[in-house]
Amino acid sequence: MKETEITVQVFEDVDKVKNKLINRGFKIAEEFLMIDYYYSKYSIEELKGFDYKKLLENSFLVRKVLSQSKTCTLLLYKDKVIDEDNNVIAEQKYSCDIENEEMALKIFESAKLTCWCELKQKSFVFTNDKVCFVLQDVEDLGLFIEYEEDEDIMMLNEYEKIEILLNRLKALDLNLGDNYSCKKVFMKFNKN
């Protein structure tokens, strides 16, 4: 099932944002480190000519999640719905567990697949029993909030969902960017 989420850049220090959210009644429900390795059959030079949609359509990722409670590695493909303004308005994720990460990476390397980006982020899941979102401190990029649709708005269209999610984030009184569709991996790839 395709779901709508927004990703907005936050232009404040991570500790300041965490304190603001805690003072507003939010709790940190979980903390984890996530490392994504993006792979494609194309070379980095070829990938540089791709737009975001084509880049993701021709890539999959290996995601390693490390927390105090668990460590897991997943093979993941993201099927994103992108509108005419190049905004991500929905996505479907397909994933399966990888039991032996080292062997999986060796297989991809042996198959001459290109690891074109490594994205590391420290994530903090915030909740107040009504709202749940993830504050992400992304290495080399900065701070972001990712907010997925809640059950109470599932029946709305994508743009109605986005408006509600944005309004909820704006009510937090954080220094947010204007773009609700930040493409972190694309930002990092273009930065390098």
Q: What is the pTM of this model?
A: 0.92
A 10 A CB-CB count for 13 gives 11
Give which of 111, 97, 7, 1 is closest to 52, Cα–Cα.
7
The CATH number of residue 148's host domain is 2.40.320.10
Contact predicate 126/133, CB 8 Å: yes
Q: Considering its fold, how many domains does the chain have in total? A: 1
A 10 A CB-CB count for 53 gives 15
Cα dihedral sign for 99, 102, 107, 111? positive
Which tens digits make up the pLDDT trace of 52-61?
Answer: 999 999 999 9
> 177, exposed or middle or buried, with CB in 10 Å at 0-12, 13-18, 19+?
middle
Cα 92 from Cα 57, distance rounded (Å): 12
| Per-residue confidence (pLDDT) for residue 129, from 0 to 100 | 82
Q: Retrieve residue 113's tokens.
A: 């697949």
Cα dihedral sign for 9, 15, 19, 25? positive
Which tens digits make up the pLDDT trace of 118-170?
Answer: 999 999 999 998 889 999 999 999 999 999 998 889 899 999 999 999 999 99
Cα 153 from Cα 149, distance rounded (Å): 7
User: Does residue 186 have a pLDDT over 90?
Assistant: yes
Cα dihedral sign for 25, 155, 5, 1? positive
All residues at 6 or more sequence positions from 48 whose CB lies less than 8 Å from its CB, including other chains: none
Which tens digits make up the pLDDT trace of 6-39?
Answer: 999 999 999 999 999 999 999 999 999 999 999 9
Query: Residue 153 belongs to what domain range?
Result: 5-191
User: Does residue 87 have a pLDDT over 90?
Assistant: no
| Per-residue confidence (pLDDT) for residue 70, from 0 to 100 | 87
